[in-house]
Structure 1
Amino acid sequence: MGEDLTEVISKTVLAGNQVSTLIERKEAVSALLDGQTIILMEGSSSVLSLQTAKYDGRSVDRK
């Protein structure tokens, strides 16, 4: 059997260190409540979690 759809998408479309694959529903709910984006796909038992929280940037120094 081939790779799970979530694995294919995380490696090709959303490649990066900000993506993780979650198996447990409890993990997915916790990630969502922590401000992460989760992606559920029909037919897949796993969930993708993406770090999409917006962080304050460094202010511009004026001289």
Structure 2
Amino acid sequence: MIASVDEDRWKEIQKELKEEYTRLLQTLDSTLPRDETYADEALGCLAHSAYHLGAIKQMIKYITA
């Protein structure tokens, strides 16, 4: 578990998060079959990502309060 980071590491984490988000969008936009299973998996992936982004947002509120 990460307890603290300096400004440079925080920027690196943000960059890595953006790269992962871009990779996710590229995967969802790839030539995967567009059927019900794909839609279910894509929505599940987006919901899971939103959960983690919400958790990050809550942690930021906690540490900056």
> TM-score, normalized by length of structure 1?
0.30
Structure in which a larger fraction of residues adopt strand: 1
Structure in which a larger fraction of residues adopt helix: 2
> TM-score, normalized by length of structure 2?
0.29
